[in-house]
Homo-oligomer: A and B are copies of this chain.
Amino acid sequence: MKKLINGVDDIVSEALRGMAVAHPDLVEIHLSPDYVVRRGAPFDGKVALVSGGGSGHEPMHGGFVGLGMLDGACPGAVFTSPTPDQIYECTTRVSGGAGVVHIVKNYTGDVLNFEMAAELAQGDGIEVHSVVINDDVAVQDSLYTAGRRGVGTTVLAEKIAGARAEEGATLTEVADVVRKVNGNGRSMGMALTSCTVPAAGKPTFELAEDEMEIGIGIHGEPGRERVKLEPADRIVDRLLGPVLADLPFRSGDRVLTLVNGMGGTPLLELYVAMRRVAEALGEYGCRLERTLVGSYITSLEMAGLSITLLRLDDELIRLWDAPVHAPGLRWGV
């Protein structure tokens, strides 16, 4: 296993300490339990947004803490849910009196632990609304999921809901816009290579030199099928087809596209894929209104990509275009 790490058990806490020294103007780090909060939080009268999940998907979620996005993020161990007390403590820490929205990716552990944390916070008089993101069209149930997995739409929901909270919206309004993004966002991913979870020390799965996995999960869990390697355009079409058909997106729809790298895929290749996405959307009749290209929800060093489409309306465009200042989001937004 070739990784730039010290002890396997210290990765998350050491990375958080790295974030603390790198972005003291943007975030504050708490260790044991681990969480990232926006500098200056809590913000009086503002609805607070908290997300979290296993580490290994950086910059999600800690990199999305900042102005116009999350108030707090709870990183678990690599590919492991954060604990209820961790989420509870982060929730109380960022609560500004107007309620807290939990944005939860649909993995069984995450859902359970966020539920318990919400109950604890509500016991303290903090109102919490939770929204589960389940946008991955690849498989119905999976290794770690009842129902669909939550993937790329999470990034978009955190950006858009963050902007809504910044506008002074109420708890219900912010939770509603998360639900709206989840309702209008669909994703699917694929992998060229596996990743290696540090504590396991060996690749999560094996793929032959001429094979790829279509519909992969962000923890390397199985997708729809394992097929022979193909040109990038054909791969994009394999992902876009089910994504477009699922919502379904319709001719004339305005869409935002996230072309997301899994961690080990060069930006050069993501732009090659972006080109075909735009072309295919044009053929389908959708209008490409906004894009995000880069590695935003990753699986350690896995090579591969995922494509997320979000159907836009004027409100979502306004919120997408609102200012954001977080360690992990590019200026291009």
What B residues does A2 contact at CB under 8 A?
Answer: 192-193, 209, 212, 229, 303
Q: How far is the CA of A100 from the CA of B329 in the complex (A)?
A: 31
Complex-state Cα separation, A12 to B269, whole angstroms: 9
Which of A54-62, A145-153, A179-187, A243-251 lines the interface with chain B? A54-62
Docked complex: A228-245 residues within 8 A CB-CB of B: 229, 231-233, 235
Is B26 a contact partner of A332 (Cβ separation < 8 A)? Answer: yes
Identical chains in the assembly = 2
Pair B266/A301 contact, Cβ less than 8 Å: yes
Question: Is B231 touching A23 in the complex (CB atoms < 8 A)?
Answer: no
Q: Is the CB of B18 within 8 A of A271?
A: yes
Interface string of A293-333 (1 = CB under 8 A from B): 10100101101110000000000000000001111111111
Q: A199 interface residue, CB < 8 Å from B?
A: no
Within 8 A of B (CB), among A1-57: 2-7, 11-12, 14-19, 21-23, 26, 55-56
A232 and B275 contact, CB distance less than 8 A: no
Contacts A15-B272, A231-B6; is A288 near B23 (CB within 8 Å)?
Answer: no
Task: Say if the beta carbon of A81 comes within 8 Å of chain B.
Answer: no
Q: Which residue of B lies closest to A212 (CB)?
A: B2
| A308 CB, nearest partner CB in chain B, Å | 14
With A272-B6, A331-B327 as known contacts, state yes or no: A267 contacts B298, CB within 8 Å. Answer: yes
CB distance from A219 to the nearest CB of B (A): 14
| Interface residues, chain A, with chain B CB atoms under 8 Å away | 2-7, 11-12, 14-19, 21-23, 26, 55-56, 58-59, 63, 66, 78, 192-193, 209, 212, 229, 231-233, 235, 259, 263-275, 278, 288, 291, 293, 295, 298, 300-301, 303-305, 324-333
